């Protein structure tokens, strides 16, 4: 699955702004662009507000989708821990997602994401990127929930996942999943609200492994109880014990 990502903008601010600017919304809103956060490592389980691109523009949405039909806050808080990801194979069937996948799809631009490989009972963290891009878009969907007592509006999103490609099968070797990575040609298609279900399903597929790269990082990344959102978390770390089953 995909529960941890990086949005690295330090030293690449112009590149980041150009990336967002290159994704024109279908129906542009005349609003002030929100301040775009950057993270070296951020977990979806903290439900951070992160930038997504809808067909109406750039917004900050909370990670962990709350369906519009949820009736109370306790249910909302519970369900959002279970909707960080949405399986592409069942997204049209699940009550939490079937309305959103039809007409509320968005792009979630990231610098990379993290996944864990189990080898001889030990989990090794990997940082995964595209080989020739500083930023790329994950396919996501969103919904809007209104608190029944306070009328507070919460916009939330979930990342679509697919079966893993061969590279990701070796890294995420237990569940063998990966986030939906959209090619530049498919990004605007994903936002198109007129797409039919079969056209949407055609876009939900593993990304080619030859266009991706990955490396191992410190096992400090395994500990969600400590602060991991710092520059050095991205530093490559070599593990000799993995050489007998070397990936890269």
pLDDT score for 22:
76
d(CA 92, CA 201): 9
* Per-residue model confidence as pLDDT tens for the chain (248 residues): 677 888 876 556 556 667 777 776 666 555 555 677 889 999 999 999 999 999 888 889 999 999 999 999 999 999 999 999 999 999 999 999 999 999 999 999 999 999 999 999 999 999 999 999 888 999 999 999 999 999 999 999 999 999 999 999 999 999 999 999 999 989 989 999 899 999 999 999 999 999 999 999 999 999 999 999 999 999 999 999 887 555 54
Q: For tokens 């490396």, what's the residue?
A: 215
- Which of 164, 179, 140 shows the shortest CA–CA distance to 62? 140
**Residue ranges per domain, the chain?**
4-245
Length of the chain: 248
d(CA 120, CA 141): 36
- Which of 59, 68, 62, 60 shows the shortest CA–CA distance to 44? 62
Q: pTM for the whole thing?
A: 0.92
pLDDT score for 173:
93
Q: Which fold has domain 4-245?
A: hypothetical protein yedk fold (3.90.1680)
- Which of 159, 247, 160 shows the shortest CA–CA distance to 209? 247
Element (H, E) at 240: none
């Amino acid at each position: 699955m995909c529960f941890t990502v990086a949005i690295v903008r330090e030293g690449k601010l112009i590149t980041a702004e150009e990336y967002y600017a290159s994704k024109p919304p279908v129906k542009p809103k005349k609003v002030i662009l929100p301040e775009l956060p950057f993270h070296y490592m951020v977990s979806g389980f903290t439900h951070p507000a992160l930038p997504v691109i809808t067909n109406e523009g750039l917004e900050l949405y909370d990670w962990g989708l709350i369906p519009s039909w949820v009736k109370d806050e306790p249910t909302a808080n519970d369900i959002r821990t279970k909707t960080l990801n949405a399986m592409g194979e069942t997204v049209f069937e699940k009550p939490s997602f079937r309305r959103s996948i039809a007409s509320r799809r968005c792009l979630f631009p990231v610098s990379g994401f993290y996944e864990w490989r189990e080898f001889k009972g030990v989990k090794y963290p990997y940082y995964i990127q595209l080989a020739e891009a500083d930023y790329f878009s994950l396919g996501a969907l969103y919904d809007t929930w209104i608190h029944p007592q306070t009328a507070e509006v919460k916009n939330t999103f979930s990342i679509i996942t697919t079966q893993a490609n061969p590279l990701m099968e070796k890294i995420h070797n237990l569940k063998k999943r990966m986030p939906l990575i959209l090619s530049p040609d498919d990004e605007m298609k994903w936002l198109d609200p007129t797409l039919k279900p079969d056209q949407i399903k055609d876009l939900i597929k593993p990304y080619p492994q030859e266009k991706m790269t990955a490396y191992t990082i410190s096992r400090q990344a395994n500990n969600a109880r400590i602060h991991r959102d710092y520059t050095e978390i991205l530093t490559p770390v070599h593990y000799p014990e993995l050489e007998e089953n070397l990936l890269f």
